[in-house]
């Protein structure tokens, strides 16, 4: 059984100059214990998808259509209070910048304890024990002492560990990690990813790992979803997608990553840039930049279709012959 | 102005935002009316309230025309000296705005000069100016204005107090409000000073401050305009307050604040119109200026919204 | 912390010395102090004697030093207007101003902060928009106009509340209080409303702006993502971060209240220091002006310094006593 199932999720932002569609007909599944990587350029809709799943789209944005099911239960139409109980307890979230994710005027312990007590029926002392235990699990030295200190007394990497403890302390089944290491030193990034991976194995939680770092995906994720201009254009196992990308955009993305041992004179790059939300071309959004564009690409939007190697939304792989 | 310039102005972001802001439209219409009334006060007034020959005592304490006992000759009634309230307000508005604009210009000149000086010279000069600005800012404006006013009165012989009142007010308010200009201009100057063209100009023997001035002004025009607009409201309010307190414009040359003070003295005799109408005009004036200033600040700094 | 304290105190002393210099210059150069000390038809010799006795023949900085020494003991000489010691005049009138400012400060806090929170949490509600507009009117409304309107409505038309004076006061030592009599309390109502209104609207707008800013921060977003209740997010997380900067501003506002009390005291004929100051400005009574300036500046400086220290002790990021960042990130 799938843990999370997202179908045709569409998020719109009404604005003065018309409605902007931030993500359109996004379909995803996450199996229990699985790490799903999500890649794409900034603005492709990765973070918006994450925000939609935990029900934290900033107004006036709203889910225009589609369904989100967690353990078979629809959560996109829950009321405020019910959705609040899902957040933290069943879906946890980790954001990009550990320096700004923690409240500067509350101690780390206070923030952990309130989160634990919000979701679990524990006494204050039991919650405190659990808080210290979680600090230990995320690798904070001397947690009995550090529990009563303020975030500014931690280094960046340590703070991100605290953030992970906060996201996991009520043992949610799904973690949405939105660029969890982007703001950190390169030397710390690998440790944080390894920690996240280890803790999720221990608790059996699944992870949606949003990143633009293909290296992280390759090391950590089981499957990967590639997003472009608000849509998922290719999904598959990491091995399939990284080694044999099929969508021309994914192929371009992979080719633009430098590989150790090879020394290309020029790193290939995809010409042009991702279209803005209000200027998406008809048909396939990638068609103006696509090296393999066909007539149909400017007319008909390709849908995500499954086959033996995963799902891809590209007319090159459509069952019917392209006309 | 050619048509192309006109259409460019019309299509600019500022104009777009202006056309789509109800508060900006309403407040600027009100301001145009008030400024017009002040400029054409002598033409619009039905009486010269400063000419004693025109005052006839049996017309004193008349209520507004729509109240029983009122007269159409005196639309908003008369005060105890038979001065027409409507005409007094027109002249008072004129004086209030003159003091307001003059003190804003004085504050801007002082502030921009000190800001340029501090930002360009730096070092001790800059530190002294900015420290002084900090101290000045930590005191409420009204207190500083009162103090400058009191000192000026102490220095001038009492016989000149009335004639000099308007200049003393402009000085007091101007000296109180220059700090914000100085800070803004100084910041911008310091940014520009580090740029290459200034160094290049210096090497070529062109005057640094001169070339900087022409580069800095475009950058600071927006903020300075916002500060000036908001300051105009402050200045009018400060003038009114000082006059109300009896240390501003004298009764022989009443501004709106003086009119309110005079009216306040007769509040208990039931002649409310002498105090209410000048108050309404003052409030509408200050509110319109503030609303316009608020809109301008938002329109020029979309980030801050 | 200690270094900060010392730096802050040195700063305050410099400000006070500068203020004292202004006061001294007023004394020295506004009118001839000798005139107020000698009979009208004194001879040149008599005048010279007085000059010598006052030390006016000595170098300026010596005079300045002596001025500071006397000012520090509260000696500002005699009022030029009624020849009474300035320190006595101020002491008589201090309690009236202090009580008025205190009541207004409490009122503006108790009303302004909740309104600010409300408008920040429901920024699009009708009530909040109305309040926001009213607060703009409140800021644009000259305080004396507010006072006049209050008198017109509650004293002249309705006749409910007194329009001038403090009512009955009870003397406790040198302090005279209006808190202990019914008429004293009644007399406080209109003046304190007038005085607090501007600060109240300012405080409300400040809390609103600050809180809306805080509600947009990442840590609030993260708190929401952890499923914390609205109550915990708004009051535990957002409010605490909002109030820290608000404290600083409120300290400055207290100074504003003292200054605006000048206007309130004029409108309500309140026998406080502000009314005394206005009379002094009007008559060019330099000793009273100078003494008021020094006293009010002293109060400002004390408030500002304590607020800075309070701020430093409330905000954990500025608390330097506990060793700072410990342990590296590994």
Contact criterion met (CB < 8 Å) for A157 and C226? no
- Closest C-alpha to A151, from C327, C188, B234, C152: C327
C52 and C141 part of one domain: no
Measure CB to CB from residue C316 to each of A85, A150, A188 and give the nearest one. Answer: A150
A273 and A127 part of one domain: no
Angstrom distance (rounded) from CA A235 to CA A313: 9
Share of chain B above pLDDT 70, in %: 83
A181 and A242 part of one domain: yes
- Closest C-alpha to C64, from C290, C312, C308, C245: C290
Q: Are B239 and B103 in contact (CB under 8 A)?
A: yes
CA-nearest residue of chain A to C324?
A: A153
Distances (CA, A) of A209 to A10, A163, A217, A260: 20, 15, 8, 24
C173 and C287 part of one domain: yes
pLDDT of res. A114: 92
For residue B168, the Cα-to-chain-centroid distance in whole angstroms is: 15
C177 and C216 part of one domain: yes
- Closest C-alpha to A161, from A208, A228, A108: A108
A322 pLDDT more than 50: no
Boundary-marking domain end, from A117, A144, A171? A171
Share of chain C above pLDDT 70, in %: 92
In a domain, C206, yes or no: yes
More confident residue, A202 or B212: A202
In a domain, C184, yes or no: yes
The string of pLDDT tens digits covering residues A258-280 is 666 666 566 667 777 788 777 78
More confident residue, C315 or C161: C161
The string of pLDDT tens digits covering residues B264-303 is 888 777 778 888 888 889 989 988 898 888 888 777 765 4
Spatial neighbors of A247 by CB under 8 A, at least 6 apart, are A226, A233, A234, A286, A312, A313, A314
Q: Are B265 and B251 in contact (CB under 8 A)?
A: no
For residue C289, the Cα-to-chain-centroid distance in whole angstroms is: 17
Q: Are B100 and B235 in contact (CB under 8 A)?
A: yes
C63 and C28 part of one domain: yes
A115 and A185 part of one domain: no
Q: Residue B8: pLDDT band by 50, 70, 90 thresholds?
A: low
- Which whole number is the average pLDDT over B202-223? 70
Provide the residue count of chain B. Answer: 305
In a domain, C24, yes or no: yes
Contact criterion met (CB < 8 Å) for C141 and B246? no
Contact criterion met (CB < 8 Å) for A105 and C217? no
ipTM at complex level: 0.86
Q: C148 in contact with B at a CB cutoff of 8 Å?
A: yes
Q: C143 in contact with B at a CB cutoff of 8 Å?
A: yes
Q: Residue C134: pLDDT band by 50, 70, 90 thresholds?
A: confident
C130 and C186 part of one domain: yes
DSSP 8-class letter at A87? B
| Structural domain of A115 | 98-171
Dihedral of CA atoms B279, B284, B287, B293 in degrees, nearest 10, equals -130
| Structural domain of C64 | 2-72
Q: Are A18 and A273 in contact (CB under 8 A)?
A: no
pLDDT of res. C319: 59
pLDDT of res. B7: 64
Exposure of A173 in the CB half-sphere (CA atoms within 13 A):
11
Boundary-marking domain end, from A156, A171, A186? A171
A138 and A267 part of one domain: no
Other Cβ atoms less than 10 A from the Cβ of C52: the count is 11
pLDDT of res. C326: 39
In a domain, A323, yes or no: no
C285 and C139 part of one domain: yes
C204 and C267 part of one domain: yes
Which residues face A14 on adjacent strands?
Answer: A19
Contact criterion met (CB < 8 Å) for C226 and A103? no
Contact criterion met (CB < 8 Å) for C329 and A163? no
Look up the pTM and report it: 0.76
A2 pLDDT more than 80: yes
Spatial neighbors of B59 by CB under 8 A, at least 6 apart, are B71, B73, B74, B78, B82
Angstrom distance (rounded) from CA A149 to CA A108: 6
Strands A231-237 and A223-228: antiparallel
pLDDT of res. B101: 93
- Closest C-alpha to C11, from C320, C318, C312, C304: C304
Q: Which fold has domain B99-261?
A: MetI-like fold (1.10.3720)
The string of pLDDT tens digits covering residues C80-130 is 777 788 888 888 889 999 999 999 999 999 999 999 999 888 878 888 888
Q: B233 in contact with C at a CB cutoff of 8 Å?
A: yes
C230 and C135 part of one domain: yes
Q: A101 in contact with C at a CB cutoff of 8 Å?
A: yes
Measure CB to CB from residue C281 to each of B153, B155, B294 and give the nearest one. Answer: B153
In a domain, A86, yes or no: yes
C193 and C156 part of one domain: yes
A207 and A81 part of one domain: yes
C163 and C17 part of one domain: no
Spatial neighbors of A313 by CB under 8 A, at least 6 apart, are A231, A232, A233, A234, A247, A284, A302, A303, A304, A305
pLDDT of res. C323: 40
A183 and A114 part of one domain: no
C217 pLDDT more than 60: yes
The string of pLDDT tens digits covering residues A139-191 is 899 999 999 999 888 888 889 899 999 999 988 999 999 888 887 888 888 88
Q: C217 in contact with A at a CB cutoff of 8 Å?
A: yes
pLDDT of res. B186: 87
Q: B251 in contact with C at a CB cutoff of 8 Å?
A: no
- Which whole number is the average pLDDT over B163-188? 87
A212 and A151 part of one domain: no
Residue A235: its H or E element = strand A231-237
- Which whole number is the average pLDDT over C312-320? 69
pLDDT of res. C163: 80
**Which CATH number is A272's domain given?**
3.40.50.300
Q: Are C304 and C9 in contact (CB under 8 A)?
A: no
The string of pLDDT tens digits covering residues A56-95 is 888 888 899 999 999 989 998 888 889 999 998 999 999 8
**Which CATH number is C218's domain given?**
1.10.3720.10
**Of the spans B149-153, C24-28, C111-115, C238-242, which averages the highest pLDDT?**
C111-115
C52 and C105 part of one domain: no
Q: A104 in contact with C at a CB cutoff of 8 Å?
A: yes
In a domain, A322, yes or no: no
Angstrom distance (rounded) from CA A86 to CA A92: 9
Q: C13 in contact with B at a CB cutoff of 8 Å?
A: no
A180 and A161 part of one domain: no
Q: Which of residues 255-294 of C touch B (CB under 8 A)?
A: 255-256, 258-260, 262-263, 266-267, 277-278, 280-282, 284, 286, 289, 293
Q: How far away is chain A from the Cα of C216, in angstroms, using its nearest Cα?
A: 10
In this complex, which chains have at least 3 CB pairs below 8 Å with chain A? C
The string of pLDDT tens digits covering residues B80-90 is 776 788 888 88
Contact criterion met (CB < 8 Å) for B139 and C300? yes
Number of domains making up chain C: 2
């Amino acid at each position: 059984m799938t843990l999370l199932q997202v179908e045709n999720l569409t998020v719109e932002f009404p604005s003065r100059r018309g409605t902007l569609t931030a993500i359109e007909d996004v379909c995803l599944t996450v199996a229990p214990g699985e790490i799903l990587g999500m890649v794409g350029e900034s603005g492709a809709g990765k973070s918006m998808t994450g925000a939609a799943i935990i029900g934290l789209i900033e107004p006036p944005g709203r889910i225009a259509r589609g369904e989100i099911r967690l353990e078979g239960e629809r959560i996109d139409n829950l009321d405020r209070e019910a959705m609040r109980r899902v957040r933290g307890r069943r879906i946890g979230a980790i954001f990009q910048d550990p320096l700004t994710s923690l409240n500067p005027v509350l101690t780390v312990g206070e923030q952990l304890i309130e989160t634990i007590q919000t979701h679990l029926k524990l006494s204050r002392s039991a919650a405190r024990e659990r808080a210290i235990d979680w600090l230990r699990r995320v690798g904070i030295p001397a947690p009995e002492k550090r529990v009563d200190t303020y975030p500014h007394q931690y280094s960046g990497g340590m703070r991100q560990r605290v953030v992970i403890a906060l996201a996991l302390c009520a043992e949610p089944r799904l973690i949405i990690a939105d660029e969890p290491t982007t703001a950190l030193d390169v030397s710390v990034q690998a440790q944080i990813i390894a920690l996240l991976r280890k803790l999720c194995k221990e608790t059996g939680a699944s992870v949606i790992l949003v990143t633009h770092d293909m290296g992280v995906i390759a090391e950590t994720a089981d499957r990967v979803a590639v997003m472009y201009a608000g849509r998922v254009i290719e999904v598959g196992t990491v091995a399939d997608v990284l080694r044999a990308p099929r969508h021309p955009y994914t192929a371009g993305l992979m080719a633009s990553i430098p590989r150790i041992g090879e020394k290309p004179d020029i790193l290939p790059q995809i010409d042009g840039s991702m279209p803005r939300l209000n200027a998406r071309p008809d048909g396939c959004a990638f068609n103006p930049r696509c090296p393999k564009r066909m007539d149909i690409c400017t007319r008909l939007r390709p849908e995500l279709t499954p086959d033996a190697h995963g799902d891809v939304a590209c007319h090159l792989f459509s069952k019917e012959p392209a006309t | 102005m050619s048509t192309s310039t006109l259409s460019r102005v019309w299509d600019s972001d500022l104009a777009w935002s202006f056309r789509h802001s109800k508060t900006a439209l309403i407040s600027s219409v009100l301001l145009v009316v008030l400024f017009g009334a002040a400029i054409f006060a002598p033409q619009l007034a039905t009486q010269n309230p400063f000419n004693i020959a025109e005052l006839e005592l049996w017309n004193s304490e008349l209520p507004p025309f729509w109240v029983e006992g009122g007269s159409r000759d005196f639309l908003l009634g008369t005060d105890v000296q038979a001065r027409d309230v409507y005409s007094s307000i027109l002249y008072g508005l004129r004086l209030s705005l003159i003091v307001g604009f003059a003190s804003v210009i004085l504050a801007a000149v002082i502030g921009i000069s000190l800001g340029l000086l501090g930002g360009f010279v730096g070092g001790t000069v800059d530190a002294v100016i900015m420290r002084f600005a900090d101290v000045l800012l930590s005191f409420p404006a009204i207190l500083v204005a009162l103090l400058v006013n009191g000192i000026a009165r102490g220095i001038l012989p009492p016989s000149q107090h009335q004639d000099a009142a308007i200049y003393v007010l402009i000085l007091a308010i101007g000296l109180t409000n220059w700090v914000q200009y100085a800070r803004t201009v100084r910041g911008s100057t310091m940014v520009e000073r580090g740029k290459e063209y200034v160094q290049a100009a210096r090497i070529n023997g062109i005057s640094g401050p001169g070339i900087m001035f022409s580069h800095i002004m475009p950058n600071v025009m927006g903020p300075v305009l916002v500060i000036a607009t908001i300051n105009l409201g402050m200045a009018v309010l400060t003038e009114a307050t000082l006059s109300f307190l009896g240390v501003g414009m004298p009764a022989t040359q009443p501004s709106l604040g003086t009119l309110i003070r005079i009216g306040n003295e007769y509040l208990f005799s039931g002649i409310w119109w002498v105090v209410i109408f000048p108050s309404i005009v003052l409030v509408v004036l200050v509110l319109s200026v503030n609303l316009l200033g608020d809109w301008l600040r938002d329109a020029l700094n979309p980030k801050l919204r | 912390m200690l270094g900060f304290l010392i730096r802050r105190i040195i700063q305050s002393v410099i400000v006070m010395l500068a203020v004292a210099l202004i006061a001294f210059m007023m004394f020295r150069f506004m009118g001839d102090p000798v005139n107020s000390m000698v009979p009208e038809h004194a001879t040149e010799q008599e005048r010279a004697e007085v000059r010598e006795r006052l030390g006016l023949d000595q170098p300026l900085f010596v005079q300045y030093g002596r001025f500071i020494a006397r000012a520090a003991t509260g000696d500002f000489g005699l009022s030029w207007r009624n020849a009474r010691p300035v320190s006595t005049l101020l002491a008589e009138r201090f309690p009236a101003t202090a009580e008025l400012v205190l009541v207004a400060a409490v009122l503006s806090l108790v009303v302004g902060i909740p309104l600010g929170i409300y408008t920040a949490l429901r920024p699009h509600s009708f009530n909040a928009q109305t309040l926001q507009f009213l607060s703009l009117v409140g800021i644009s409304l000259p305080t004396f106009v507010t006072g006049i309107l209050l008198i017109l409505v509650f004293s002249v038309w309705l006749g409910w509340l007194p329009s001038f004076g403090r009512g009955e006061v009870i003397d406790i030592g040198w302090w005279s209080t209006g808190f202990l009599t019914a008429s004293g309390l009644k007399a406080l109502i209109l003046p304190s409303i007038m005085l607090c209104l501007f600060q109240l609207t300012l405080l409300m707008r400040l809390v609103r702006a600050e809180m809306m800013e805080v509600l947009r921060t990442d840590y609030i977003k993260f708190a929401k993502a952890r499923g914390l209740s609205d109550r915990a997010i708004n009051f535990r997380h957002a409010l605490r971060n909002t109030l820290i900067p608000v404290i600083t501003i409120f300290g400055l506002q207290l100074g504003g209240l003292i200054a605006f009390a000048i206007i309130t005291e004029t409108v309500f004929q309140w026998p406080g220091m502000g009314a005394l100051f206005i009379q002094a400005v009007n008559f060019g009574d330099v000793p009273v002006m100078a003494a008021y300036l020094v006293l009010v500046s002293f109060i400002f400086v004390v408030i500002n310094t304590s607020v800075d220290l309070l701020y430093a002790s409330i905000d954990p990021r500025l608390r330097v006593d506990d060793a700072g960042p410990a342990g590296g990130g590994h």
